[in-house]
Amino acid sequence: MHDPIDAKTAVGKAKFFYKICLNESEISDSWRASFDEVMNLFGGWPSLGSHVLPGASVEKLYGVMVSKFRGDFLFKATVQPDDKNSEQHVLLIDQPSLNLFARDFYVLAENEEKLAYLTLIRDVLVLLNARPDIATKDAEEIIDFETSLANITMADEQRHDIAELYTKMTLGDMRRQFRHFDWILFFQSMFEDVRSKVEEMISLIMESFVHLLLEEDWLTEETKQFAKQKVNTMKRKIGYPDYLNDTSAVDDEYKHYEVFEGKYYRTKFQFYEQYQKDVLGRIAEPVDRERWVAGAALVNAFYSPNTNEIIFPAGILQPVFYSKEFPSSMNFGGIGVAECIEEQYSGYVLEQIAMRINGRSTKGENIADNGGLRMAYKSYKKYEKAHSIPPRLPGVNLTHDQLFFLNYAQIWCGTMNDKEALRKLRTSEHSPGPIRVKGPLSNSEDFARVYNCPRGSPMNPQQKCRVW
């Protein structure tokens, strides 16, 4: 960071922006001017002494909000690959993101989170020189409006079936079905100015999944063959996109992103606007199968259904998930009937806050955890047959099979305060860490065998749940 900064290169722009971020005094001194500039763009806020632009419409203003600031508080509007045609982009219209994250925080009786949010809005307005009584009234109206929005959104547990959520419409269909919203004006405003070990490991996991599919007697032969074909055509993205090794390509990717010296907010807003231009500009383009839908630094691994690809960003290829220094047993352990799963997890209690797990809203990820663990272990045993088995780790009196399950459990170790535990329990599609250990391991015959768990014990129950 102490070398001269070339602000024309992508790395230079990142360094330059980092330098600006460190200038806390400038950020503190300029926030009000930046806020006023944005407010003026939308006609101001009457309670702060400004007036709405004459002739301004919700459609035009929200189109600008989406294109310049990634707004999604009324409804989400973005461009992504079609869920039913991975070669083509579509414009996605979806329900909004809620500022309190969980719909329950709005629709249930008055609660601490909702009250704290109201207080935050009021205090910010007072900080902006609004009269306290007017600030309170505005805050209450904002909460009422967001609650109305929350009441017409679907709960997360109702949004697991992509086919039910998929409704393809033309612009004409939109105009006929939603007559009180000028979609043409909105879209015009919105589009204005418009990576060998990991490879082998993933190959073994995919191969194991195909074998698991063929073993299942609840799938029809047609379904098995369709799923097998889908796995065999699945694209793999590992580590990071190749273009990151090409300085010129990276610079070209970020050539329209500007860094304004000493101007934190102006730089950030320009980044927002340019990002939206890049995303929205893809609407008429075929889907680029080489484009990554996630950043290389992301600590996650996932499957993207609308592009049929499995993604392992560099962020997750680090300890404790993966390390080239780990024995293969630990690497496979780290990465790697629905009603039964739902009922099982609904019986779990997060002891820290004495609350039950929502087995329905977390069902998809719970099935993934259970199936993923089983596939990863089968893949490791297949790897073990083709490679020499290293000696036990010095000082660790555990077999490699035991290390496999130990590392799986270790990745979910962590602590959080009670409020964060409650928030995650209400808003996350994943079960809390302790449950992500108990559930899959108690369903695993292999875990019970390698750790000699007595039949009928908590970690080796008589009845086990298995989908894959």
pLDDT in tens, 130-147: 999 999 999 999 999 999
* Mean pLDDT for the chain overall: 83
Query: Could you tell me the CA-to-CA distances from 56 to 42, 51, 75, 456 in Å, in that order?
Result: 8, 11, 19, 68
Residue 415 lies in a domain: yes
Look at the block and give the residue holding tokens 């779990």. 348
Residue 102 lies in a domain: no
User: Which of 163-177, 206-220, 395-409, 420-434 is least confident?
Assistant: 206-220
Residue 2 lies in a domain: no
Look at the block and give the residue holding tokens 């010129």. 248
**pLDDT tens digits, residue range 286-336?**
888 788 777 766 666 767 777 788 787 766 666 655 566 566 666 655 554
- Asked whether residue 330 falls in the same domain as residue 357, the answer is yes
- Asked whether residue 172 falls in the same domain as residue 223, the answer is no
Answer yes or no: are the C-beta atoms of 422 and 416 closer than 8 Å. Answer: no
Q: Which residues pair with 303 in a beta bridge?
A: 310
Residues 300-322 as b/e (b if ≥16 CB within 10 A, e otherwise) read ebeebebbebbbbbbbbbeeebb
- Asked whether residue 167 falls in the same domain as residue 209, the answer is no
Sequential DSSP letters for 269-291: HHHHHHHHHHHHTTTTSBP-TTS
Is residue 440 scored above 90 in pLDDT? yes
Residue 355 lies in a domain: yes
Q: For residues 90 and 81, what is the distance between their CA atoms, to the nearest angstrom?
A: 6
Is residue 121 scored above 90 in pLDDT? yes
- Asked whether residue 431 falls in the same domain as residue 371, the answer is yes
Predicted pLDDT at 49: 75
Look at the block and give the residue holding tokens 């329950």. 104
Torsion of CA 391, 395, 400, 401, to 10 degrees: 150
**pLDDT tens digits, residue range 45-80?**
888 876 666 557 888 888 888 888 888 889 999 898
**pLDDT tens digits, residue range 8-22?**
788 888 888 898 899
Answer yes or no: are the C-beta atoms of 254 and 16 closer than 8 Å. Answer: no
Is residue 409 scored above 90 in pLDDT? yes
Torsion of CA 390, 329, 310, 434, to 10 degrees: -160
Q: Which two tokens stand for residue 5?
A: 């900064």
Number of structural domains the chain divides into: 2
**Higher local confidence (pLDDT), 326 or 444:** 444
- Asked whether residue 168 falls in the same domain as residue 232, the answer is no
Residue 462 lies in a domain: no
Q: For residues 133 and 135, what is the distance between their CA atoms, to the nearest angstrom?
A: 5
- Asked whether residue 186 falls in the same domain as residue 228, the answer is no
Q: Which two tokens stand for residue 407?
A: 């590392």
Q: Which two tokens stand for residue 467?
A: 């989908």
**Higher local confidence (pLDDT), 392 or 268:** 268
Predicted pLDDT at 336: 46
Is residue 260 scored above 70 in pLDDT? yes
Residue 23 lies in a domain: yes
- Asked whether residue 228 falls in the same domain as residue 167, the answer is no
For residues 188-201, give the mean pLDDT: 66
Cite the beta strand spans of 98-198 per DSSP E: none
Answer yes or no: are the C-beta atoms of 102 and 427 closer than 8 Å. Answer: yes
- Asked whether residue 323 falls in the same domain as residue 400, the answer is yes
User: Which of 201-205, 275-279, 337-341, 432-436 is least confident?
Assistant: 337-341
**Higher local confidence (pLDDT), 246 or 171:** 171
Q: For residues 160 and 151, what is the distance between their CA atoms, to the nearest angstrom?
A: 19
Question: Does residue 174 sit in helix, strand or coil?
Answer: helix
- Asked whether residue 33 falls in the same domain as residue 74, the answer is yes
- Asked whether residue 383 falls in the same domain as residue 435, the answer is yes
- Asked whether residue 429 falls in the same domain as residue 309, the answer is yes
pTM: 0.58
Distance of CA 301 to the CA centre of its chain: 10
Q: What is the domain range of residue 300?
A: 197-243+290-450
Distance of CA 316 to the CA centre of its chain: 14
Predicted pLDDT at 194: 46
Residue 464 lies in a domain: no
- Whether a cis peptide bond, with omega within 30° of 0, leads into 90 is no
Predicted pLDDT at 195: 56
Q: β-strands 355-356, 349-350: how paired?
A: antiparallel
Predicted pLDDT at 268: 92
**pLDDT tens digits, residue range 198-256?**
777 777 777 777 777 777 776 778 878 888 888 888 887 877 787 776 777 888 888 99
- Asked whether residue 378 falls in the same domain as residue 231, the answer is yes
Residue 85 lies in a domain: yes
Residues with Cβ < 8 Å from 225, sequence gap 6 or more?
Answer: none
Phi, psi of 395 (to 5 degrees): 80, 0
